[in-house]
Structure 1
Amino acid sequence: MTSKILVFGSPALDLRNALAKADQINSSAAGPFDALFLLGQVFRSDTSDELIELVLSKKLTPSLPTYFYSSKYIPPQVKKAIASNGQLSENLICLQSSGTIVTKKGAKISAISSYASSFELEKLKVQNDVDVLITDHFPLHIDLLSDSAKGKEAILSTKKDMKIGEVATILQPRYHFSPGPVFWEREPFKNEGFLNNAPAGERYTRFISIAPFANSEKQKWFYAFNITVPFQPTDPPANTTPNPYIEGSKIRAAEARNDPSSQADEEEDLIWGTGIKRKNEDDNQERQFKRKEKPKRGQNQPRPTRQPVDPSTCFFCLANPQLAQHFIVSIGEDSYVTTAKGPLPKSNSNSLDCPAHVIIIPLSHGPTISSIEDEESRIKTRKEMTKYKERISEMLAKHGYSAIALEISRYNGIHFHVQIIPVPSDKLDKVKPEFEKASQINGYKLEEREDSSEIADAEEDFFKVYLPGGKVLYILLSNDMRFDLQFGRKVLANVLGFPDRFDWKKCVQTEQEEVNDAERFKTLFSEFDFTLE
C-alpha cells in the first residue's frame, strides 16, 4: 500500500495560516493525504493568547491528521491539555518529546525531539521498520560526504545533535525530515544492513531539511511524497553516498584517541552499587599488578594506572566485611556466583520468576585472569568459571532461554568478572546484529572469533560477548580507547525490549526482592550446580 505524507516547515507564529494552507493542499488534486507533520516550533513564547484559545477551544481543527512534537517552548495551557494523550482536537496531536504513529496505509513514522529524556531515546531505538523519522535538529555528521552541502554556510552552520544522529543510525529510516533555515535535500546514503528483514546495503535514507513555513526568502517550505509499505529493496538511487554517521563515528574515535582529556579512565562498581568511583592516579605510581613487558597490539602508549584496591575494600571480594552476602547463590573452589544488583530483566518479565542476571566472580582478587600469578590457580579459576557458565547455560536452555555472557578484561580494572544475562531463544538472532550496529555507532572495531583460551586469557585488554554455539564477539581495548563500561548492558536492553533499564542504578530493588530473586535462582540452579554434587 502507498501512504501520501505532507510535511511543513516550522509554522511558528503562523499556525492558523499553515493549517489553512494544509487544508487547501489536502483538498486539491494532489490530495488527499494520510498525515501532515509540522516541523520545528509550533508555539513560541510570543504566541498570541488568541491563537492559544483557538487551539484549546478546538476551533482550529485541520482536515487531515496533523502531528507535531514538543519543542523548546509549549504554552503552559497547551502543555496541560496534551498531558494525557497529546490530543488537542480530533486531528491535531502532539507526540510529546517522542512518539510513533502508523498511518491508515501502514507507514510507520517516528518523531523525536532533542529535548527527549534518555529513557525516551532508548525506547525509540528499539522501534523496528521505521519508514519516516521526524526530528527537531539535524543529526550530527549529516553534512559529511555530501557535495550538495559544500559551500552552503546555512547548512554547515546549522546546529547538529549527536543523540539524534544515534537514533537515525539505528532506525535507518527511508526518509528523515528536520526543520532548517533553508531547503536542502541531501544525496541519499546507504545504510549498512543490520535492520530486521532488510538485506545489507539495500536500504537508503533521504534526509530533507525544510525551510520555515511561508518564509520571505521563498525557500521551499513543504514537501509531499508517497511511500510504499512494506519496504522492498531497491537499486541504489542516483548520487548515493556512503553513510555519513559511520564516517562521523570514525572521526570521533580518532579525536578521542588524540585528546588527553578523554583518556581519564573511571570505573564504577557494577554489582553492589556503592557509588564509589576510583580514578586513575599519577602514571608514575607503582602498579599493583605487574605484567610481562612485551609489546601488545594496540598498546603503543604507557598504560594509565589506578590506585590499588585492597581485597578488604573490594566489593567483589569475599574478604570484604561489607559484602552483601544475600546475593551469593553458589561458591566453588576458585570462583563464586551472585545475582546482580539492579538486574537488567525484571523479576516478572520472564517465565523464570526471577531476573536470572548473574555474575561469575573469581575468588582471587585481580583485574584480569592473567593477573593471577600462580599458573595452576589461574588455570583452575578459568576452568571453574567456564564450568559455571556452561551449567548456567544448561539451566537457562531448559526454560527456553539462551545465556549471553559479557566479559571485560582490563589491567586497569579492579576485580575481573563475567556477567550472564538470559535472552529468550526467539530473540537470540537479534543479539549479534545489535552489537554490530552499536559498535559502528560508537566507533568500536568488533570481530567475530571462535571461543578459545587464546582470547580467554590473553594479556591484552578486551570486551567479549559469548554467544551460544562457541562464537565470541570481541573488541580490543587499546590504551587510548574510551570504552563505555555499560555498552553490553545497553545493547542487551534494546534486544530484550527494556530500553529504560540500561542503567543498573535505576533498577535497584529492595533487599527483600533481592533475597527472593537469589533464592529463586538457587532453586532453579540446584540440579545444575556442580558444587552440590
Structure 2
Amino acid sequence: MEKQKMLICGDVNGNFNALFSRVESIIKKSGKFEMLLCVGNFFGDDNSQLDAYKMGTKKVPISTLVFGPTKPEHVPLYGEEGSPIVPDVLYMGVRGVFSTISGLKIGYLSGLSREELGKDIDPMCTFEPSDCSKLRNACIRGVHEYRGLDILVTSIFPRGIQQDELQKVDVPGDKLSTLIAWLAMNIRPRYHFVPFDKYFERQPYRNFSVHEDYRECATRFIALAPVGNKNKEKWIYACSLQPISKMRIVDLLQGTTDETLCPYDPEMLKQYEPGKCIKPNHNGQYFFNMDAPEDDHGKRKRNRDDGAEKKRKEIDPDSCWFCLASPTVEKHLVICVGRHCYLALAKGPLDPYHALILPISHHQSLNKVPDVIVEEIKKFKEALLKFYFSMNKLAVFFERNYKTSHMQIQCVPVPIACSKEILEVFQDEAGINSIQLEVLPPYTDITQVALPGAPYFHAELPSGDQVYARPKPHFPIHFGRDVLSSQPILNCEDKSDWRQCQLSREEEEKYVKNFREDFRPFNFTVADDDSDD
C-alpha cells in the first residue's frame, strides 16, 4: 500500500491566512496531502481572518482537523464536537481516536492536566486520568495483536521526554504531564505531536514491551512552533507514512542510528490506570479494558469484537489427542520419541513422509514452550532436513497456532524443483483469502513477533524465508495444506483437507513402519536411547 502524506501544524492562534497560504504553496509544490492536523490552539485573540473563509471568498485548500483548546476563553469559539468551524475545517473535540480513509489511526487528547495542575479550570480545557484510560482503551479495543498508533496528538509534553542528555529543552511545569507519558507508553505512537513555543524534534525512542524478547515500534516526538512565529521556528511538518496495521513487521521494527531508549519509567506499564497497579496475568500481559462490562463475579470481560479466538479452556492432558501419556493418543502413528518431543505421522498425510513434531507433555504453541523443547525441535528439524534431502527433497515446516490445543509442527517434504516458487504460492494464496502475510527478517524467532498466547500462522520455507500471519475471523484452517497441495508444489489438491484423505489403520501402520526404517540413519533419538542403556 502506498504511503499517505499528512501535514501537521502548531498553534494557529488566529493566523489563518498564513496557515492556509503556506499549505496551498506546499500542495502546489509537493502534490496532494490527505489532511492537515492543527495540534495546538486554533483560535487567538483576533480571529477576524476567519470571516473570509466563512463567507466563501477564501477557501481552505485541504481537509483540516482541529482539536480542543487549552484556554477557557476560546471554548465558545469551537462549537459542538464533530461540527465544522468553516467549510473543510472540522472540530474533533477534546478526546478520541479515528481512522482516515487510507487507514491511518490518529488519537488525540487535548487540554492541560487537571489533576497535576491542581487548578479549577474549565473541563473543556483539561483532562484527568480516566480520559487517558479511555483513550488507551479506544486504541487497543478490538485489536487482537496491538502494534501501536500511527499518530498521537496532545496539547502538552509527556514528562521525561525533555530530559534527553543530548537534546535538552526547557518546558514549563504546566506543559509537562506524567499522565501523557503513561498514555504514550501504552498506545506506542509512531509520531507524537504537541504545540510549543519553538520547534523541537527528539531522537526516536524504542518503546518498552511487557513481553520478553518482543520488540516494539519506535516513536518520533515532535513539538511544533506557533504558525507564523517571529523567530521563524518550524511550525509545519510533513510526513509520509503507511498505516501501522498494514506495515511489514520488518519495516515496523527497523531501527535507526540515532535511536534511543524509552525515556519513561517502565514501572508505569504496570498501571492499568495512571497511579493504579494490578498484577499481570500468567502471560505477562496487563488487563487494559476499563470500560468492559462486568460479570456476576465482578471480573472484567474482554471485548471480542476483533473476532479473535475466545479464551481457550484448560485442556485435560488425559483427553488431549496429542499428549503422549493420554489414553486417547494414537500411538500407532508415533515414529520415534525423544526426551521432550516425539515425531508422528500426520493424519491424512500429503506425502508418505509428512510428519508432525509434537511436545510429549501438554504445550499449546512454540512461543510458549521451555527452551529444552525448542532445542529438541531444532534437532528434529535438522534430522528431517537431512532425511528429506537424501530423497532429493526439501522441507517446509509450518505451525498453525489457531483453533488448536496442543502444539504441532507440520513437516512436509517438497520437490527441489519447486522450492523457489513456494513463497510466491504462499503469497498468492494469502491474497486470495485476504490474509496479511509477512516475510520475516532473517533469523527472526517466532517469540519476537507473536505475543504469548496470541494466534498465529508461521512457516519456514526451503529458501530460508519465514512467513507469518495473524489469523483473523474465517482464517482458513487448512491454509498451509492448501498451499502445499496446490498444483505448482505437490499437485494433490484433493488432500488439502486431511479429513478427506484419511488412511486406514493398516495403511497408517505401514506408512509408519516404512518411515521409521528409512529415517533410522538420521534418527538422533536412537542414539539417545542407546546412551541411556
TM-score bin (small chain) = 0.3 to 0.5
Q: Which has the larger radius of gyration?
A: 2
TM-score by length of structure 1 reads: 0.44
Using the size of structure 2 for normalisation, the TM-score is 0.44
